[in-house]
Amino acid sequence: MPKMTAMDAAVSILYDEGVRHIFGIPGAGILPFYQSLKNHGQIKHMVCRHEEGAIHMADGYARAIGTIGVCAATSGPGASNFITGLYTAQVDSIPLLALTGQNVRAQLGREAFQAVDIAEIAKPVTKKSYCVKEPAMVPWVFREAFKLMREGRPGPVLIDLPLDVQKGEIVYDPESDGPLTISRLRPNSRQVKKTVDMLMSAERPVMLLGGGVILANACEEFVALAEYLQIPVVTSYMGKSGIPHCHPLMAGHVGIQCNTPSGNRTFLESDLVLAVGARFNDRHTGDIKVYTANRKFIHIDVDPGQIGKNLTPELGICSDAKEALIAILDEVRSRSAARSTDAWAKKVPDLCEQLARKVDYDDVPIKAQRVFKELNEFFDEETVFVTCIGLNQIWSGQLQKISKPRHYLDCGGAGPLGWDLPAAIGAKVARPEKQVVQVVGDFGFQFCMEELPVAVMYGVPFVIVVLNNGYLGLIRQAEKYIYDMNFEVQIWYDGINNGRGFDFVKFAEACGATGERVENPDQIKDALKRAVAAKTPYIIDIILEQETDCSMGVSIDAVREFV
């Protein structure tokens, strides 16, 4: 049997499992891994500027193509800087492998230099975290990690590697090894039959497309079932992109922030909800009594811990989304009777048009809604949009028109400011043939902006649209309506950059990228043209009207609209 270092075996397994890119920062505690990565030579690595940026890049990469993202960092603070990214991946069900270096085993528990117990710290925000104590365990830990990340509800795994474990020599034969078998949960026939019975007897059913449908690559099956039964579709925010925005059955998004009036209206008029891959989180449901009143729920989710957590369904089904949808579709096709295509489904397109929010503002300073009108008109359905927390995200969720799965990437559960810039870089690395556009607020941009030089260094072009209103916009609005104050949320400052403080264009130029400022709505289209033609990272700094409020509320029947 061949002998090799534990890290030679680890890198061999990474490649065999499909890993082609790693995002990270080499440090003393992880150098044996990097040596094996260099010697292997077939996995590309991008050196980042902060570990949080590295893990968000891996996250964006994973979301863009439905694979596993991989990141690496050294011990101590390098490893602990991964925690926000692990939490983000866990709550959004993203398969992500974080590899961390560690001090030698003899120093564990002795408060040695950079020897934090990252495996214990990471436990609450991972599917599993390991600290590998024996070199011979490395291959099996890595194989199990890939199985865990892929099986059931996807999620992140952390593997902590003490320095002497990394250097250890083991017996391992790559030729006789391979990925572990992945099982897919299927619904039982009684659940399938009851689901169809309930759908056929309901007067006003809707199908709720959650993010789990996209993760399971089950959008085609979901839409096919909706079309066959002529049932209107609504989505959660994480389900945005799972069905084309222009599909005649697409009623819109449901939520108290990232919503559409037509989506909320259709949901409120329903008497049965078939929810697939949805968590029913608070920003989606709002007041749970309003959300659940006068309707029954069928809840399909691969994670049994989600069923019954936030609401009590009439029927709960623990199953892989694709397997469940295929089984339900087969069952309805086997029956001679079919639902009539009545006014319930036929009214969806007109309702969407009647309740569409206004976007054609010509105001100067620019209204945020106008920016999204320009984005919708300029970019085609092949464009990948990336956004993050803030009013920018809520406007994006409400107004952006997306037609294809995995062409709208967002961090819905954790919402860490700064996620979107590195995630956009990761998405572009994963999908180099796609135009990638980041939509970000002026405050959020300043969180992980240190990663912009990474995109310049490796030649990763994408467009960054900064919605610049000089505020922590979401917090300003909360202060205004809940606390009657405007305190510590202004970030424009006098004396520099025409009173607007941070100069995004100069920052872009300092990094080796390009940028321009836009102050008139008629300038947006031409700026977008220049940004796409530049073939480099390009910042468009759009100066907005400062205090435009964003539609939201505490329940889905009481969303306050602003014009």
Residues 213-228: tens digit of each pLDDT? 999 999 999 999 999 9
Q: Which two tokens stand for residue 285?
A: 């449901």
Q: What is the pTM of this model?
A: 0.95
Above 90 in pLDDT, residue 110?
Answer: no
pLDDT above 90 covers a percentage of the chain that reads 93
Residue 481 makes CB contacts below 8 A (sequence gap 6+) with none
User: Which residue, among 548, 376, 382, has the nearest Cα to 465 in the 3D structure?
Assistant: 376
Q: What pLDDT, on the 0 to 100 scale, is given for residue 109?
A: 81
Mean pLDDT of 470-475: 92
Which among 19, 59, 43, 51 has a CA at the least distance from the CA of 427? Answer: 59
CB distance 524 to 374 below 8 Å: yes
Which pLDDT value is given to residue 494?
85
Instruction: Give the tokens for residue 106.
Output: 């003899």
Query: pLDDT value at position 337?
Result: 64
Mean pLDDT score across all residues of the chain: 95
Token pair in block for residue 34: 């990097």
Check residue 430 and give its pLDDT: 98
Helix (H, G, I), strand (E, B) or coil at 411: coil
> What residue ranges define each of the domains in the chain, with the CATH number in brackets?
3-169 (3.40.50.970), 189-354 (3.40.50.1220), 368-543 (3.40.50.970)
Residue 26 and residue 120: Cα distance in Å, rounded?
22
Mean pLDDT calculated for residue range 261-279:
97
Strand runs labelled E in 363-454 = 384-387, 408-410, 436-441
Tell me what percent of the residues of the chain surpass a pLDDT of 70.
99
The answer to whether 53 and 451 have CB atoms below 8 angstroms apart is yes
| Of residues 196, 194, 225, 191, the one with CA closest to residue 208 | 225
Phi, psi (rounded to 5 degrees) for 176? -105, 5
Which residues share a beta bridge with 276?
209, 300
3-class DSSP assignment, residue 26: coil
Alpha helical stretches, state H, 335-419: 343-346, 348-354, 368-378, 391-399
pLDDT tens for 517-535 read: 999 999 999 999 999 999 8
What is the spatial distance between Cα 284 and Cα 288, in angstroms, rounded to a whole number?
10
| DSSP for 190-202, written as a single string | HHHHHHHHHHHH-
**Per-residue pLDDT at 341:** 63
pLDDT at 188 over 80: yes
Contacts of 231 by beta carbon, 8 Å cutoff, 6+ apart = 199, 205, 206, 207, 225, 249, 274, 339, 345
pLDDT digits (tens, 9 = 90+) for 381-406: 999 999 999 999 999 999 999 999 99
Residue 439 dihedral angles phi and psi, to the nearest 5°: -115, 115
Task: Encode 223-242 in three state secondary structure.
Answer: HHHHHHHCCCEEECHHHCCC
pLDDT for position 295: 96
CA distance 206 to 317: 17
Q: Which of 311, 285, 316 is nearest to 299 (CA)?
A: 316
Residue from 286, 292, 339 nearest 314 by CA? 292
At 126 the pLDDT is 98
Q: From CA 180, how far away is CA 464, in angstroms rounded?
A: 40
Q: Could you give the CA distance from residue 181 to residue 151 in angstroms, rounded to a whole number?
A: 9
Say if residues 170 and 132 touch (Cβ distance below 8 Å): no
Give burial (CB, 10 Å; 0-12/13-18/19+) of 39. Answer: exposed
1 has pLDDT over 90? no
The stretch 406-430 carries a mean pLDDT of: 96
Q: What would the mean pLDDT of 303-308 be, rounded to a whole number?
A: 94
Residue 527 has φ and ψ, to the nearest 5°, of -65, -40
Residue 340 banded pLDDT, cuts 50, 70, 90? low
- Res. 434: pLDDT tops 90: yes
Helix (H, G, I), strand (E, B) or coil at 102: strand
Mean pLDDT, residues 493-500 taken together: 86
Q: How many CA atoms lie within 13 A of 305 on its CB side?
A: 3
Q: What is the DSSP string of 28-83?
A: GGGHHHHHHHHHH--SEEEE-SSHHHHHHHHHHHHHHHTS-EEEEE-STHHHHTTH
Assign 249 a pLDDT band (cuts: 50, 70, 90).
very high
pLDDT band of residue 338 (cuts 50, 70, 90) is low
CB atoms within 10 A of CB 506: 12
- Contact (CB, 8 A) for 417 and 447: yes
Sheet of 96-102, strands arranged across = 44-47, 21-24, 69-73, 96-102, 157-162, 128-131
pLDDT of 106: 83
